[in-house]
């Protein structure tokens, strides 16, 4: 029964990763006409918004780019920090979009940030509670109910993340074009990279919803 719920999410996740790898791989080979690096593009967007003191730093890893609201700093992987490609400036602008969300006190961004601690706790404790139900069979139903509550928090996080990521991409495209950092014929490449990245968050949400449905089915069947 688990496979019936897990397999669709797994396949969608694989498909999303393939789409992202293809789009990013293709446009990381296409130079941007401006000749600017991802770091320079992010710096330009941040400075234009008055965020001159917000640092843009290099971080190790592949597509490890992120904005850290607790440190109020933007981190770009080496390929995107130094890259002068359509993919690099698109990813850099997306992360700068998160900084703009923070500056504007975007409601969903703030809500996601607020539930990070409880989500982290739920993700760490969930599996332990879930397997405890199989070890201590007399407490199986209670453990599954607790696991459902924890996974519901994780699913809520994924649900909130989706519009936050789409909004960051919208802000990124808007700033790239408004500031003239990409040409008209580079728009499609930027959009394809960011849209492919967004698919990974869609896949994560679908997988979480299916996993939650599986847990609910377990709890229902156990009560029969």
Residues carrying an active site annotation: 95
Question: What DSSP state is assigned to residue 106?
Answer: -
Question: What DSSP state is assigned to residue 146?
Answer: H
What are the tokens at 60? 């190790």
**224 class by beta-carbon count within 10 Å (0-12 exposed, 13-18 middle, 19+ buried):** exposed
What are the tokens at 219? 């709890």
What are the tokens at 151? 């996974």
Residues sharing a CB contact under 8 Å with residue 124, sequence separation 6 or more, in sequence order: none
Half-sphere exposure of 83 (CA within 13 A, CB side): 25
Question: What DSSP state is assigned to residue 33?
Answer: T
User: Do 21 and 62 touch, CB atoms closer than 8 A?
Assistant: no
């Amino acid at each position: 029964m688990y496979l019936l719920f897990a397999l669709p999410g797994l396949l969608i996740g694989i498909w999303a990763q393939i789409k992202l790898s293809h789009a990013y791989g293709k446009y990381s080979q296409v130079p941007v006409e401006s000749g600017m690096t991802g770091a320079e593009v992010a710096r330009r967007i941040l400075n234009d918004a008055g965020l001159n003191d917000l640092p843009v730093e290099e971080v190790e890893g592949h597509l490890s780019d992120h904005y850290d609201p607790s440190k109020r700093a933007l981190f770009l992987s080496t390929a995107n920090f130094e890259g002068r490609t359509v993919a690099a400036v698109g990813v850099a602008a997306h992360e700068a979009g998160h900084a703009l969300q923070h500056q504007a006190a975007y409601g969903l961004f703030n809500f996601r940030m607020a539930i990070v601690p409880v989500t982290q706790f739920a993700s760490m404790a969930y599996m332990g509670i879930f397997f405890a139900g199989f070890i201590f069979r007399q407490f199986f139903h209670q453990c599954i109910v607790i696991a459902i509550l924890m996974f519901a928090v994780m699913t809520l996080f994924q649900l909130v993340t989706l519009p936050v990521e789409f909004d960051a991409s919208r802000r990124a495209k808007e700033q790239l074009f408004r500031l003239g950092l990409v040409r008209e014929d580079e728009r499609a490449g930027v959009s394809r990279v960011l849209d492919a990245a967004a698919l990974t968050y869609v896949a994560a949400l679908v997988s979480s919803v299916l996993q939650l449905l599986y847990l609910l089915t377990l709890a229902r069947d156990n009560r029969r």
